[in-house]
């Protein structure tokens, strides 16, 4: 399955999305021809440029401005339906506009049929949404995923006056999705970009397990000193690994906490959702024996787990860095032993191990030595594989 991942570390907008997909390999000539078929009297251009030293593609829509057209949802859907583009591109673009219309209707307190698509209904935004759906189709993308979205901060000027970032429609579209604000105090995610991401994405979060085939960068309008103002797109084939994701590794050197305190801290970290947590012996400065605390966590948990480390140990500083966590495909089967049922974890290449907690509970309940319970579970599993 071909997948697309939107890395929205500098937000997401419609033109950034189209630019990134073209940069990743969508045929620009075919895209422009399809957009011209909409008969909007607009010209389209894809320009190579740079943002923060990163080469990117900028998607431009140019047309004669005669006021600011206000369009209702029905005519926009009719325009899309008549366009000579694929059924999938039509369906995706129509669904994006329906979601956008529902958000605008909710914000303004009117039926969706009466929503005026101010900026969103203008020619450039129709081009962005339809163009993004055409580009995904040209690339053969079957599934879309998106990172947590940087929405920006500050205020934005709209036809309804000065509004806080994220704008009301953007906030409504992103409800329930992971967002954050970092960088300059400007709008980084537009309603069009939010509608595309939330309508088309199967999930939000870290990079899915995939084999990357191409990478594209779509340029935003502004240049920032803090980071490249681009939307990164990764296109590739989904892999069979059940888990191949980015994790945060949190480390601390500790030489003045008691073993009781450290043991309790470890329990709290594991109970709070750490993927793994451990101590290793360490020889520290002034020849003091100490411990290296290492925690593996989901990125969205790193701040909460870091707070636990500071609260429960004597450390005054942490090291946090990203790493890839790859886990072998696995399944769980249940076997019957003379002592009771035991779950067995089985890897993709056939290795297996009885679930320790199940065997431990049986040993404690029956008074049977733990090695004997483990052996019985192993024997029971081998018998099932021979049947």
| Three-class secondary structure assignment of 349-374 | CCCEEECHHHHHHHHHHHCCCHHHHH
In a shared domain, residues 203 and 215: yes
Tokens of 98: 């329906």
In a shared domain, residues 337 and 222: no
In a shared domain, residues 40 and 153: yes
Looking at 172, 205, 238, the residue that finishes a domain is 238
Looking at 281, 309, 327, the residue that finishes a domain is 327
Looking at 276, 302, 327, the residue that finishes a domain is 327
Predicted pLDDT of residue 262? 92
Q: Are 310 and 264 in contact (CB under 8 A)?
A: no
Q: Give the whole-angstrom CA distance, residue 197 versus residue 91.
A: 15
In a shared domain, residues 17 and 128: yes
In a shared domain, residues 321 and 338: no
Owning domain of residue 380: 330-386
Question: Any idea what DSSP says for residue 9?
Answer: B
Compute CA distances 320 → 68, 181, 254, 267, 294, whole Å: 48, 20, 15, 20, 10
Residue 363 binned pLDDT confidence (cut-offs 50, 70, 90):
very high
In a shared domain, residues 89 and 211: yes
Predicted pLDDT of residue 229? 97
Q: Which residues contact 275 (CB under 8 A, 6 or more apart)?
A: 247, 296, 297, 298, 325
**96: enclosing H helix or E strand:** helix 87-108
In a shared domain, residues 18 and 156: yes
Q: Of 64-73, 91-100, 255-264, 348-357, which one has max mean pLDDT?
A: 91-100
Span 20-66, pLDDT tens digits: 999 999 999 999 999 999 888 889 999 999 999 899 999 999 887 66
In a shared domain, residues 120 and 264: no
Number of structural domains found in the chain: 3
Domain containing residue 298: CATH number: 3.30.70.1380
In a shared domain, residues 225 and 78: yes
In a shared domain, residues 273 and 322: yes
Instruction: Output the pTM of the full model.
Output: 0.66
In a shared domain, residues 151 and 294: no
In a shared domain, residues 114 and 81: yes
Span 195-221, pLDDT tens digits: 999 999 999 987 887 889 999 999 999
């Amino acid at each position: 399955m071909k997948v697309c991942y939107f890395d929205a570390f500098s937000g997401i907008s419609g033109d950034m999305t189209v630019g990134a997909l073209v940069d990743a390999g969508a045929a620009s000539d075919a895209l422009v021809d399809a957009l011209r078929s909409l008969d909007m009297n607009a010209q389209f251009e894809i320009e190579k440029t740079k943002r923060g030293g990163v080469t990117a593609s900028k998607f431009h829509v140019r047309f004669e401005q005669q006021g600011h057209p206000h369009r209702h949802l029905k005519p926009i859907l009719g325009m899309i339906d008549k366009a000579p583009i694929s059924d999938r591109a039509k369906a995706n673009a129509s669904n994006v506009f329906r979601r956008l219309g529902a958000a605008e209707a909710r914000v303004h307190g009117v039926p969706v049929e009466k929503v005026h698509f101010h900026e969103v209904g203008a020619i450039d935004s129709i081009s962005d949404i339809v163009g993004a759906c055409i580009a995904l189709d040209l690339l053969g993308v079957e599934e879309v995923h998106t990172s947590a979205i940087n929405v920006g901060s500050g205020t934005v000027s709209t036809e309804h006056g000065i509004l806080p970032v994220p704008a009301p429609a953007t906030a409504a579209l992103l409800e329930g999705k992971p967002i954050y604000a970092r960088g300059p105090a400007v709008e980084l995610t537009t309603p069009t970009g939010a509608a595309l991401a939330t309508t088309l994405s199967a999930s939000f979060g870290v990079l899915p397990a995939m084999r990357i085939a191409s990478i594209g960068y779509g340029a935003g309008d502004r240049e920032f000193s803090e980071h490249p103002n681009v939307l990164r797109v990764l296109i590739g084939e989904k892999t069979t690994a059940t888990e191949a994701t980015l994790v945060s590794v949190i480390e601390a050197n500790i030489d003045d906490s008691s073993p009781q305190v450290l043991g309790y801290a470890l329990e709290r970290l594991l109970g709070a959702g750490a993927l793994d947590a451990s101590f290793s012996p360490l020889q520290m400065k002034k020849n003091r024996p100490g411990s290296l605390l290492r925690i593996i966590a989901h990125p969205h948990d790193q701040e909460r787990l870091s707070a636990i480390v500071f609260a429960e140990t004597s450390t005054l500083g942490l090291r946090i860095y990203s790493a890839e966590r790859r886990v072998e495909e696995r399944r769980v089967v249940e076997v019957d032993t003379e002592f009771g049922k035991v779950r067995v974890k089985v890897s993709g290449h056939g290795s297996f191990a009885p679930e320790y907690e199940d065997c431990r509970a049986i040993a404690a309940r029956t008074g049977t030595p733990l090695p004997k319970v483990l052996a019985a579970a192993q024997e029971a599993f081998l018998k099932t594989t021979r049947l």
